[in-house]
Structure 1
Amino acid sequence: MLKTKKIDLVILAGGKGTRVSKFLKNNPKPLLKFNGISFLQYLINHFHKFPFQNTYILAGYRGNKIFQKYNNKIFNFIRIKCFVEKKTLGTGGALSILKNHVKNDFVLINGDSILLENLNNLFTQKKIKDNLIYLTKTNNYNSNSKLSNLSLFKNYVKLSKNKKYMNAGIYFLKKNFIKNQIPVNNCSLEDDILPKLILRKKFRGIISKNFFLDIGTPTNYRNAGKLLKKVFKRKSAFFDRDGVLNYDTGYVHNIKKFKLLPNVLKSLKYLVKKNFNLFLVTNQAGIGKKKFTLNDFFNLHLTLKKNFSRKGINFDDVQFSPFHKNSIIKKYRKVSNLRKPGNGMIKKINKKFLIDTKKSFFIGDQKKDQLAAKKSNLYFEYVKPNLYKQTLEILKKNK
C-alpha cells in the first residue's frame, strides 16, 4: 500500500489589503466575508479535506483577530497554529517565523486567493524532488503583478515576457526551503525570492485549469461573493457512520474494527465525481462513556482520511458528538442539541459551508438520524443494502 506523505499547510495571511482597504472595516483581508463566510474559512474548508499534518497561519495586519478566531482550533482533524508578526516581514520574511516549527514538506498558499486544486496526488507520490508552483492563466488578472509573466520549459517555470500564465498562489515546498532560502527580514516572496530561484531552475510548474479567484482588487472583491457562491454552493451528502458506511459492531474506535460495508467506496467516488460535498454526522457517546478515548476517535479518522484520500475521496467535514445524559465524563454528561436527534452538528456545518439544501440528502440507519435531517430540511432515507444503487436512485429523485 502506498504511504501517505507527511505534509503541512501554511497560509500567508499578513497583507494590509491596501487596494481593498475601504472594504476591510478594521478587519484583515482574509476575514472579509462573502455569503456570510470569511474568505479564510473558504480556504480552510477546501484544503482541510486533504490529509495535512498541521496548519500554520502567518498573520500580520490586524492579525490578532485571526489569532483569536483560529489559533489552536481543529477543523476536520487538523489543528491550526497561528503566528502574528511583531513587525512587518512581508510574504517572504514572514516564513522565517516557522523556521523551528515546520518539520515536513509543506504546501504554501496565499490568504487572499484560492485555486480549487485537487491535491490528493501530492500525498501519494513516492518522492517529489523539486519545489512546485501552480500556475493559472492570466485572464482578467492583468492588475496582479505577483509573478504574472510565467511560462513552462521542460516542466520548469520560466520568467517570460508574454503573460500566458501567472502564479496561482499555491506552492509545494521542501521542508528545508525556509532554512535555506528565507532571510529574517522584510522581503517579498514573489518579488525578492522566487524570481531568483526560477532563474536557477529550482521550481517545476503545474498548470491548473481549475477555478481561481484573487480578492485583492476592488473589482475582484465586488465579484467575489457571486463567484464563490456559484462554485461553493454545492449539493451535499450527509451520512451517519456506524451501520451506514461501516459495519456497526459496537463502539468502533480503531482501524482494525472499522470495516466498510459493500459498495460504500463506489457510492462515495460517484458523489465526488458529481461534485457533491461529503459530510459525516455521527453520535459518539462511547467517548463520554469511556468506552474509548477522544484520541482513539481522532486516530481512527486520521487514518480513514489518508485511506480515503488515496482513493480520491475527501470528506469536507466530520462532525461528532461525545455527549450523552449517562456519560461517565462530566463535561459530556448532558442533553445536547449536538447529539442526534438534535441537528446541532448539521447547523455547525451550515455555518461554514454553502449548502444547496434542496438538492442534498442524508442517509442514516436510525430514527434519530431521520429526525435530525427533518429539522434541517434535508431529504432523508434509511440506508439500504446497496448504498451505490441507493445513491443513484436518490440523485434521480432530486434532479
Structure 2
Amino acid sequence: MDVTVRQCAVLVGGLGTRLGALTAATPKPLLPCGDRPFLAWLLREFVRFGVSEFVLLTGHLSAEVERAAADIQAALPRRTRIVLSEEPVRAGTGGAVFHARDRLDERFLLCNGDSLFDCDLASLLAAAARDDDTVVGRLMLRRLDDAARYGVVEMAGERITAFRERPAPGAAGPGRPTGTAGTINAGVYLFRRSLLDHLRPVGSLEADILPTLAAAGALRGLVGTGYFRDIGVPDDFARAQSEIPSRLHRKALFLDRDGVLNLDHGYVGSRDRFDWVDGALDTVRHATRAGWHVFIVTNQSGVARGRYDEAAVQSLLAWVSDEARRHGGTIDDWRYCPYHPEAALDEYRQAHPWRKPEPGMLLDLMRAWEIEPDRCVMIGDQATDLQAAEAAGIQGHLFPGGNLLSFAGPILDKRAGNRTPE
C-alpha cells in the first residue's frame, strides 16, 4: 500500500466557548500564535509528511475561515490545495466528516484544528500501510501525566479496545502532579473511506463512532512522544504563543543525494539504479524523530546531458521520499539543479546559482521553511557540497562513505537541544 497520504481533513468548526471573548468573532484555529494563525502552523506540519491537499471542515464562523484560507495556503512552504466543506447545520465532528464525504480520498488523514502533536507522523503512515481491510482507522495517541481534561484510550497491543470517560483527579503531592495519568486520543487520525459507512449527518466522532469501531476491533493506535498542546483553554493557549513558534522553527539536515543517500553509479535517474547507502534510511528516521527537517539538495546534470528528463528526477525523488516514510522518517522537501555550463541540451546550458558549489538550493529551502543558518547541517560527499554549505553560512561535513548513520548520528546528537519542554 502507498505509504504517503496526500489529503488531510481538518476540523475547524468548533465554537471555542472555553476561550470566551477570544473566539467571539474568530474561529479558534485562526487565533494568532506568534506571527500567524494557529492553523497555519498545524498545516505546515502536515505538509512535511507529504500532504498536498487540505479539506477544512467548517461550521462556526465559516466565512472567517474562508477569508483566511488563501493567505495560509500562500505562506505554506510547499504547493498545496485548500478547499472548504461547510456543514449545513451544527453537525458535530462525525457529521462534519459525513458532509465532506464527496471530497474525501480512499485514505485520508483527519486532525483537530485546535491541537498540535509534534510527533513522527511517518510512523503512523508506515504502520497503517501494513493494516488489512478490516482496520478502518489508526489514531495517534499520547501518554499524559495528567489526563483529567480528556477521555482515555484502552489498548490490547496495537488494537484500541475502548474509550473511557475522563479519569478522576488524583491527589497532588510532592513530585506527584494533580490528576491521573492516561493515554489520550491526540486528535490525529488516518482513516479509510469505509469510515463513512458508520457516519450520520449529525453526530460525534469521538462519542458515537470511535467506541463502536473499537468494540468491533476496527481501530489501531500508535502511542507517540513529543510536544502536545491543545489551545482550547486560556492557559494552554497562552503557553502556545511562545512554545509553538520556538518548537516548529526546527533545525535542518541537508543531504546530498548521489554518494550520500544512494551509491553513486553515475547519472542515477531511475529506481533500478538506485541503491541505498547503508544507514541512509536510518539517518532520515533518526533525524525526523529528533525533530529535524530533512532536505535533499542534488545536482542533476544528467538532465542537462540528455540522459534523463526532469520528470524522471522528480519521480525518483518522490519515490525516495515514500521509501523514507515507509521506514518511519520523512524527507520534508527537496531541490535539484538540472543545469550545467557544458550541457548537451541548449535549454540547460548555463552557470546556474542553484548548482553546487553555489548555495541557491540551500538558500531557497531556508527561505521557504524559515530556517536560520546556524540551525543547519549539510552532509555531502564532494568538496562542492561543503563549498555550497559555506556560502549559505551553514556547517558542512564531508561523508567518507560507509554507514551514514554512524557518521551523521553523532553530528545530529551533538547539535541536539533548543527544544521546548514537552
Q: What TM-score results when the alignment is normalised by the length of structure 1?
A: 0.75
- Offset of residue 378 of structure 1: 0.8
Instruction: Map Cα deviations across residues 233-261 of structure 1 (whole Å, 9 max, x no partner).
Output: 54432112234322445543221122334
Decide which of 8, 13, 18 is 1:15's aligned counterpart: 13
Which moved further from structure 2: 234-243 or 262-271?
Answer: 262-271
Which moved further from structure 2: 240-249 or 384-393?
Answer: 384-393
- Offset of residue 133 of structure 1: 3.7
Instruction: Tell me the SS of whatever aligns to 2:329.
Output: coil
Alpha-carbon distance change, 79 to 360 in structure 1, aligned in 2, over 3 angstroms: closer
Q: Does 1:181 align with 2:187?
A: no
Instruction: Map Cα deviations across residues 63-85 of structure 1 (whole Å, 9 max, x no partner).
Output: 33454256699977x95452342
Instruction: Map Cα deviations across residues 79-104 of structure 1 (whole Å, 9 max, x no partner).
Output: 54523427565533332354234342
- Offset of residue 220 of structure 1: 1.6
In the TM superposition, structure 1's runs of 4+ consecutive aligned residues that sit over 6 Å from their partners are 24-27, 70-76, 323-330, 332-336
**1:255 — aligned with what?**
271
- Offset of residue 379 of structure 1: 0.7
- Aligned ranges for residues 40-189 of structure 1 at < 5 Å? 40-50=39-49, 55-60=53-58, 61=62, 62-65=64-67, 67-69=69-71, 80-85=81-86, 87=88, 90-115=92-117, 116-117=119-120, 118-127=123-132, 129-130=134-135, 131-137=137-143, 148-152=150-154, 154=156, 155-160=160-165, 162=167, 164-178=182-196, 180-184=197-201, 187-189=203-205
Q: Does 1:221 align with 2:233?
A: no
Instruction: Tell me the SS of whatever aligns to 2:10.
Output: strand
Alpha-carbon distance change, 67 to 342 in structure 1, aligned in 2, over 3 angstroms: farther
- Aligned ranges for residues 327-338 of structure 1 at < 5 Å? none
**2:175 — aligned with what?**
none
Decide which of 241, 257, 261 is 1:241's aligned counterpart: 257
User: What percent identity do the matched residue pairs reach?
Assistant: 24
Instruction: Tell me the SS of whatever aligns to 1:227.
Output: helix
**1:385 — aligned with what?**
401
Decide which of 176, 181, 190 is 2:206's aligned counterpart: 190
CA distance in 1, matches of 2:70, 2:346: 28
**1:244–1:365 CA contact under 8 A, matched in 2:** yes
RMSD of Structure 2 on Structure 1 (CA): 4.3
**1:134–1:168 CA contact under 8 A, matched in 2:** yes
**2:29–2:114 CA contact under 8 A, matched in 1:** yes
Amino acid at match of 1:136: R
CA distance in 1, matches of 2:285, 2:219: 33
Instruction: Map Cα deviations across residues 270-327 of structure 1 (whole Å, 9 max, x no partner).
Output: 5456554322123446567865444423321232223223333322322334567879
Instruction: Tell me the SS of whatever aligns to 2:325.
Output: helix
**1:363 — aligned with what?**
379
Instruction: Tell me the SS of whatever aligns to 1:216.
Output: coil
**2:389 — aligned with what?**
373
Alpha-carbon distance change, 218 to 277 in structure 1, aligned in 2, over 3 angstroms: same
Name structure 1 gaps, 5 residues minimum: none
**1:320 — aligned with what?**
336
Total equivalences in the alignment? 388
Decide which of 269, 294, 305 is 1:278's aligned counterpart: 294
Alpha-carbon distance change, 133 to 341 in structure 1, aligned in 2, over 3 angstroms: same
Name structure 2 gaps, 5 residues minimum: 169-181, 417-422
Alpha-carbon distance change, 134 to 379 in structure 1, aligned in 2, over 3 angstroms: closer
**1:58–1:94 CA contact under 8 A, matched in 2:** no
- Offset of residue 59 of structure 1: 4.5
Amino acid at match of 1:181: H
- Offset of residue 350 of structure 1: 3.5
Instruction: Tell me the SS of whatever aligns to 1:305.
Output: helix
**1:72–1:82 CA contact under 8 A, matched in 2:** no
